[in-house]
Amino acid sequence: MAKEYLAVLGIPKKSALDAVHIAYAVVYKLDYLLTWNCKHLAHGEIRRKLRRYNGSIGLETPEIVTPIELMRRD
């Protein structure tokens, strides 16, 4: 699954561990994936692509958030 995410999300091979983190979060059906990594994980375009791809294959997508986003109070 991580290899598929590398291709679909355009994550460079040198950052393959980012795709592994996403795959674990999806497989274990986590509600959130907390990260400071805004380059490959919390990046808006990556989030959008991931939701679209996972939806097309019937998987739920965890909310990928930074600590600041998670702690924000409205």
Tens of pLDDT, residues 3-41: 999 999 999 999 999 999 999 999 999 999 999 998 889
Exposure letters 2-21 (e unless 16+ CB within 10 A, then b):
beebbebbebeeeeeebbeb
pLDDT band per the 50, 70, 90 thresholds, residue 66: very high
φ and ψ of 65, to 5 deg = -135, 155
Q: Which of 9, 10, 3, 67 is nearest to 36 (CA)?
A: 67
Amino acid at 52: R
**Strand ranges for 1-74 from DSSP E:** 32-34, 63-65
pLDDT at 71: 87
Q: What is the pTM of this model?
A: 0.88
pLDDT at 62: 97
